[in-house]
Amino acid sequence: MTCPRCLDATKVIDSRMPSTDSRGCLSKRGDRAFGWWSSDYRVRKRSCNGCSLVFHTVEVSIKDLNEAFKDAKQGEG
């Protein structure tokens, strides 16, 4: 993955799934981003090799993401 700030390469510092990190900071970030729909996601803490920016990503399958968008869109109407 590339850094959103400088576009250099990044490395994973930490990686958690909700089932392995029930009270941790990473799971809380994932719950806010995707936990409203599913607990099947992975949160990764990343660091940029170039500018040292630290940021988090929430990774879900394309299938789950498409279904979540579909459900959210149906709820708008």
Domain borders along the chain are 10-76
Task: Tokens for 4, please give them.
Answer: 């959103």
Q: Which is it for strands 10-16 and 54-59: parallel, antiparallel or unpaired?
A: unpaired
- Full strand arrangement of the beta sheet holding 42-48: 10-16, 42-48, 54-59
Average pLDDT of the chain, as a whole number: 84
42-73 pLDDT per residue, tens: 889 999 999 999 999 988 888 888 888 888 88
